[in-house]
Amino acid sequence: MLYLDGKKLEEILSAKDAVNAVKEAFSLYYQGKVTQPQRQVLTIKGNWWGIMSSYTDFSVVVKIVNVINENKNRGLPSVQGIVILMSPDTGEPLAVIDGTILTAIRTASASVLSTELSYGNRIPTLGIIGAGLEAYYHAKIASEYLSISRILITARKSHIELAKKIGADAVDLQTLLKESDVIFSTTSSKEPVVLGKFLKEDFHISSIGAHTPDAREIDDETIAKAKTYIVDSLQAVSSESGDYIQPQKKGLIKNVIEIGKIITDGIKIERPSIFKTVGISAQDNLTAYHAYKLSQTFSK
């Protein structure tokens, strides 16, 4: 059985490979070609744990993932996990994969894909809120896949170090919101960090946090301004994300559409736009499967 650690994943999965994998995942999910039960979620001592699984004709995946916010003070990623890839035909375990890095790669790839679909490939200024592992991979994959003139980054701490590492400008939150055309919000905040009063008229936001009903990354003013509200899974965000549940109850969300429908049906997105993702197992499945297949090529 193969083991793919984070270093190996980076070696074999280019940004293009990763973005194409999640693009295929969203399309298959929308077409009903992925069997995917709703993930099991536990919240214990303020920590979030999820068990995610999915089945396709060519791969089966189970992932255990967690969000441990205190890890930021321990020098560890706040999001960690492990992925098991199995054959749907024989039930044979094919690979054990570093779920921490796989999750970061597939999540960042989803944000980059939503940006390409909404804004295109040329981004004047990209703003990243957060300075953890997800922020790093969002910067990495976006820089490799898109043409970006400038990257801004802000966070409560560590963003100056990350800015140096990725060649970005460290700024305060208000400056980032005012000057960015596309914003990736990668925080564990329960209070909004994307504030509509500071944003440009034409924006695209990708928010990967606020994965519980009581948490928000995006304020109501931003959501009210958006002409298109894109989701990875309407079922998932409707039960898990405060960024969808709370404004939806207020009637603020307009034109909700799953990203898989946009991909499959070739729909043009109207901006300003928001992409809200809580992550679905199909992303892990297709990214893991393509990493496994590419590893076979690399080993030859």
pLDDT, one tens digit per residue, over 232-254 is 999 999 999 999 999 999 999 98
Q: How far is CA 264 from CA 57, 68, 125, 219, 232, in A?
A: 19, 35, 28, 30, 13
Residue 298 pLDDT level (bands cut at 50, 70, 90): low
Q: Are residues 37 and 179 in the same domain?
A: no
User: What is the average per-residue pLDDT within 169-178?
Assistant: 97
Domain check: are 93 and 158 in the same one? no
Mean pLDDT of 193-200: 98
- 23 to each of 19, 49, 208, how far by Cα in Å? 6, 25, 17
What CATH number has the domain bearing residue 70?
3.30.1780.10
User: 83 with 193, same domain?
Assistant: no
Close Cβ partners of 135 (under 8 Å, ≥ 6 residues apart):
128, 129, 153, 155, 162, 184, 186
Residue 15 and residue 131 in one domain: no
Q: Decide if pLDDT at 88 tops 90.
A: yes
Taking every pair of Cα atoms in the chain, the longest distance, rounded to a whole number of angstroms, is: 56
Both 15 and 119 in a single domain?
no
How many residues are present in the chain? 300
Domain count, the chain: 2
262 contacts: CB under 8 Å, gap ≥ 6? 117, 230, 269
Q: Do 294 and 234 reside in the same domain of the chain?
A: no
Q: Are residues 162 and 95 in the same domain?
A: no
* Contact indicator for 31, 264 with CB cutoff of 8 Å: yes
Same domain, 138 and 252: yes
Q: Do 83 and 117 reside in the same domain of the chain?
A: no
Write the CA distances from 123 to 111, 150, 187, 194, integer angstroms.
13, 8, 22, 19
* 132 and 256 inside one domain: yes
CATH of the domain at 243: 3.40.50.720
The pLDDT of residue 253 is 95
Identify the H or E element spanning 269. Answer: none
Q: Tens digit of pLDDT for each residue in 9-63?
A: 999 999 999 999 999 999 999 999 999 998 898 989 989 999 999 999 999 999 9
The amino acid at residue 236 is: A
- Note whether 132 and 263 are same-domain residues: yes
Boundaries of domain holding 239: 106-280
Residues 240 and 266 in one domain: yes
Cβ count near 66 (within 10 Å) = 18
pLDDT of 300 over the 60 cut: no
Residue 211 DSSP code: -
Task: Give the burial class of 292: count Cβ atoms within 10 A of its Cβ; 0-12 exposed, 13-18 middle, 19 or more buried.
Answer: middle
Query: Is the bond into 37 cis (omega within 30 degrees of 0)?
Result: no
Structure tokens at 268: 């043009």
| H helix count then E strand count, the chain | 11, 14
Q: In what order do the strands lie in the sheet with 79-86?
A: 2-4, 93-98, 79-86, 60-67, 47-55, 40-44
pLDDT band at 184 (very low <50, low <70, confident <90, very high): very high
